[in-house]
Amino acid sequence: MIDKISLFHLKDTKHVIGAVTHTADPDRKASAATLAPGGVLIRDFVTMPGTVFTFLVPPDEVDVISVDFDEELLLQPRRFVIGEDKKPAPQPTSAINTATLTATKITITPNAGAVPVTEDTFVWVQVSGGSLTTPIIKSIKIEKGSATAEFPLTRLTAGTYQMLALATGRLPRLEDQILT
């Protein structure tokens, strides 16, 4: 019987992005590099009007935590975050207000009306598509009292890009953006 599950979560934002079970030495401390040396594949992110995206997260962006087995964690891992107590908790219900991609920068605004965050907020972004041969991955901390995160980019060419944005205490935001 399986009594432990390993959860893959982003180091900065604590969003759970995958789960595996293993029967050999279930209490061992595992790393993402050991369990998923090629990265953690996040499948089937769906946007309106039904575009499906897949993202590959490098193992150095991911931590692994072993917890007691729970079927919901295995079947729906992206519904969880790792709390301050190092235990899985349901994802928050608030979403990132805006996530904007231009040819030269990414701008993330967690709160509506550009209201400053009330605590340090970590943001992690992955951009793929267009003319990119490898995804762009950026992370930053929005300091308490600030309202946005900006990531400068080397100029992107025209094309359709997919952007996954994750921020502490917020639901993931997925954007399909066309640059002209």
Determine the pLDDT at residue 151: 94
Q: What share of the chain is helix, strand, coil (3-state, %, to 5)?
A: 10, 50, 40
pLDDT of residue 50: 66
What is each CA distance from 43 to 24, 54, 67, 97, 144, in whole angstroms?
Answer: 26, 5, 23, 23, 32
What pLDDT tens digit does each residue of the chain (180 aa) get? 578 899 999 999 999 999 998 776 656 678 888 889 999 998 887 655 666 788 999 999 999 999 999 999 999 999 999 999 999 999 998 989 999 999 999 999 999 999 999 999 999 999 999 999 999 999 999 999 999 999 999 999 999 999 999 999 999 898 889 999
Asked if 145 and 111 touch (Cβ cutoff 8 Å), the reply is no
> Residue 161 and residue 29: Cα distance in Å, rounded?
36
Cα separation of 15 and 13, whole Å? 6
For the beta carbon of residue 136, count every other beta carbon within 10 angstroms.
Answer: 18
Supply 151's token pair.
């990531």
Q: Identify whether the C-beta of residue 109 lies closer than 8 Å to the C-beta of residue 101.
A: no
